[in-house]
Amino acid sequence: MLASEIRELLGGRVLDIKVQRTRSIFVTVKAEDYKDSIRRLAEKYGITHISTMTGADSGQTIDVMPHLSYGGMKITVKAAVPKVAAEIDTLTDIFPGAVMYEREVHDLFGVGFKGHPDLERLVLSDDWPRDVYPLRKEYKVIRPEPIRKA
């Protein structure tokens, strides 16, 4: 029911809607419609709570997925940004609580957020190289050599 309502509200912005289970829904939109769609959802349903933001590597693109709470419903908006010069609009003016989550995605996936007040390091250490993003698939974990007995 909510899925058809959202489709009607967002119109052509919606690329795909999937109901994962009762009370969880995935809405895929284009990166340029991302902020506008979320603003419309927030205004229509009075959404104030963002639970977190997930980044995920999909090969050529990175999916940015804020998880919004509408009562007991979880609405996950999904937008893909290219890996090279990855950038998307910030949500911090709609949800001030998104500040930390955007910093986390920026750290681990290298996605820039246009208009973020303070896009500093959050979880990685200060001496971590600037252009290495550990949760991208091209970053391989190097297993340490086992220590051999003398």
Partner 1 sequence: MPEFSVIIGPQHPALKEPESFTFWVDGEDVVRTQVRIGYAHKGIEKAAESRTYIQNIPLIERICGICNVAHTVCYTQNVEYLYERKIPRRAEFIRTIIEELNRIHSHLLWIGIAGHEIGFDTLLMYVWRDREVVMDMIEAITGNRVSTALMTIGGVTRDIQPELVAKLRKGLDILEKRTEYYEKVVANESTVLVRTRGIGVLTQAEAIKHCAVGPTLRASGVRSDIRADDPYAAHDEVPFKVITTDMCDLFGRVVVRVYETIESIRQVRYCLDHLPNGPIRIRLPNTPPRGESVSRVEAPRGEDIHYVRSDGTDRPSRYKVRAPTLGNLAALVEMLTSKGDYKVRVADIPIVLAGIDPCMCCMDRTARFVEPSKGKEWVWTWSQLKKYAKER
Asked whether 41 and 47 are in contact (CB, 8 A), the reply is yes
Q: Is 15 in the site for partner 1 (CB under 8 A)?
A: no
Secondary structure letter of residue 80 according to DSSP? E
**Binder of partner 1 out of 15, 54, 61, 112 (CB under 8 A):** 54
Part of the chain binding partner 1 (CB under 8 A), chosen from 4-12, 33-41, 49-57, 83-91? 49-57
Looking at beta carbons only, is 44 or 100 nearer to partner 1? 100
Report residue 37 as tokens.
Answer: 């769609």
Q: Is 44 in the site for partner 1 (CB under 8 A)?
A: no
Asked whether 104 and 119 are in contact (CB, 8 A), the reply is no
Q: Is 49 in the site for partner 1 (CB under 8 A)?
A: yes
Q: Is 95 in the site for partner 1 (CB under 8 A)?
A: yes
Q: Is 28 in the site for partner 1 (CB under 8 A)?
A: no
Q: Is 17 in the site for partner 1 (CB under 8 A)?
A: no
**Binder of partner 1 out of 20, 114, 115, 132 (CB under 8 A):** 20
Secondary structure letter of residue 131 according to DSSP? T
Give the number of residues in contact with partner 1, rule: CB under 8 A: 39
Per the rule left: phi > 0, alpha: psi between -120 and 50, beta: everything else, 11 is left
The total number of residues shown for the chain amounts to 150
**Binder of partner 1 out of 15, 56, 61, 112 (CB under 8 A):** 56
Q: Is 132 in the site for partner 1 (CB under 8 A)?
A: no
Q: Residue 29 belongs to what H/E stretch?
A: strand 24-29
Asked whether 29 and 79 are in contact (CB, 8 A), the reply is yes
